[in-house]
Amino acid sequence: EIYMWLLEQCMQLRPDLRLYPERGLKTESNQRDRIDKPDGYAAAGIPVYLLIDRDDCSVVVFNQPEKGRYRHQEKLPFGATVKLPEPVGITLDTEPLKEFAD
């Protein structure tokens, strides 16, 4: 499961991080998961939001929150090396995510 993969990666690289994973990104919740949540997290000042999209086989990194929106986002395919910016500051090899693609 993707949740366990991410938890293992973060515990190995940054055991001090607090993760707030959410399960169940669904195609029918496109607006909520891909627009509303990032905007809400940016408004709350959360510095980095990571979206793992099994439908699209991609990883999206949102960062630099400002005025309720993330100023920067980067979308990468499963299998890419994903650098999470500071304050997270870790690099994820997303090759194993290909096993979870729908």
- Give the pLDDT band of residue 25 (cuts 50, 70, 90): low
Q: Is the pLDDT of residue 78 over 70?
A: yes
Residue 101, pLDDT score:
79
Q: What is the pLDDT of residues 30-74, one digit of tens each?
A: 667 777 889 999 999 999 999 888 888 999 999 999 999 999 999
| pLDDT band with cut points at 50, 70 and 90 for residue 102 | low
Per-residue pLDDT for 15 more than 60?
yes
Tokens 């729908």 label which residue?
A: 102
pLDDT value for 94: 94
Q: How many other β-carbons are positioned within 10 Å of the β-carbon of residue 97?
A: 23
Percent of the chain with pLDDT over 90: 50
Question: CA distances (Å), 9 to each of 22, 43, 61, 77, in order?
Answer: 16, 27, 16, 18
**What is the DSSP secondary-structure string of the chain?**
-HHHHHHHHHHHH-TT----------GGGHHIIIIIHHHHHHHTT-SEEEEEETTTTEEEEEEEEETTEEEEEEEEETTSEEEEPTTT-EEEE-GGGGGG--
